Amino acid sequence: MRPLRYLHLDVFADGPSGGHPLIVCLDPCPASAMPALSHEFGLVVAFPVVTSPGRYHVRIFEHGHELPFGGQPTLGAAWSLGPGRWRQDSRGASVEVEAMADGARMGSPDPVLDPIDDDSLLAGISGVLGVDIDGAYRTSCGGNTHLLVPVRADIGDLTVDHGEVARICEAAGMNTLSPFRWHAGEIIQRVFAPTMGIPESPAAGTAAVPAAAYARQAWGAGLNIRVHQGHGTGRASLIKVHAERGAMTLAGVVRKFAEGTCEVG
């Protein structure tokens, strides 16, 4: 057994006790121990390793499964390595990240939005959410997939049957079901992910980016868009997206909640 230092962060925090919790391991960790460590923490865990000046490679695990990419672990990993500009390489994407004292900003691959034309699936999505929908889209950003659903109704108090959400996600071949709406010049978004062992995510940057791209295209939103997530989890999150094709970025606050040491074999 050997000690491994870690930080417990809140990424995209919009006020106290907000944001998406993240563990960043600061010391090299054996690859064989990474899945078990993510199970032990019960959170997303990022394992960054600096490979050259200003550049690092990261592996990301959640509940024992490896993720190809993610906004929250990207911002948290770069912030943990220190202020400045970094190039992050992961299985899903290679992006530029700028870490600052109170947060970070990262480049993002342009999202892909593929409209769903299956009437039966669209009816199922509307039924699970219990609201009228303005279509639905299969989206991908850095290898993470979301079933993106624009709606007009208030979704702040929306409750869903997570078994039915999982069924819809599996039918669509997507990881999450994410309804969102345009309200007072900003996006309100929920991200349900029961197929990944998460009833609802407090924050998902790879869902915010395609929602912002849709808002630009369909709702005439400006380039700089604020996306609110996490209210259904009690952990308010704010993701700031610059929705310019070919120059997408997302940014948010990063706060240290705790630090410590664990033992790995």
Q: Give the integer Cα–Cα distance in Å for 265 and 29.
A: 9
pLDDT of 150 strictly over 90:
yes
Q: Give the integer Cα–Cα distance in Å for 211 and 185.
A: 13
pLDDT of 197 strictly over 90:
no
For residue 241, which of 149, 106, 74, 151 has the smallest C-alpha distance?
Answer: 106
Fold: same for 2-108+251-264 and 112-247: yes
Q: Which CATH architecture has domain 112-247?
A: Roll (3.10)
Whether 234 and 19 have beta carbons less than 8 Å apart is answered as no
pLDDT tens per residue, range 221-257: 999 999 999 989 999 999 999 999 999 999 999 999 9
pLDDT of 114 strictly over 80:
yes
Whether 75 and 252 have beta carbons less than 8 Å apart is answered as yes
Can you tell me whether residue 69 is helix, strand or coil? coil
pLDDT of residue 265: 77
Q: Give the integer Cα–Cα distance in Å for 46 and 70.
A: 10
pLDDT tens per residue, range 12-59: 999 988 999 999 999 999 999 999 999 999 999 999 999 999 999 999
pTM of the model: 0.95
Q: Amino acid identity of 67?
A: L
The residue-averaged pLDDT of 87-100 equals 96
Q: Which residue has the higher pLDDT, 264 or 101?
A: 101
In which element (H, E) is residue 60 found? strand 55-62
Q: What is the CATH T-level fold of the domain 2-108+251-264, as seen in this structure?
A: Diaminopimelate Epimerase; Chain A, domain 1 (3.10.310)
pLDDT of residue 100: 97
pLDDT of 218 strictly over 80:
yes
For residue 204, which of 162, 176, 184 has the smallest C-alpha distance?
Answer: 176
Give the whole-number percent of the chain exceeding pLDDT 90.
91
Residue extents of the structural domains in the chain: 2-108+251-264, 112-247
Q: Give the integer Cα–Cα distance in Å for 202 and 107.
A: 21
Task: Tell me the average pLDDT of the chain.
Answer: 96
Sequence-ordered list of residues with C-beta below 8 angstroms from that of 61, at least 6 positions apart, any chain: 34, 35, 37, 38, 44, 45, 47, 67
For residue 37, which of 51, 26, 52 has the smallest C-alpha distance?
Answer: 26
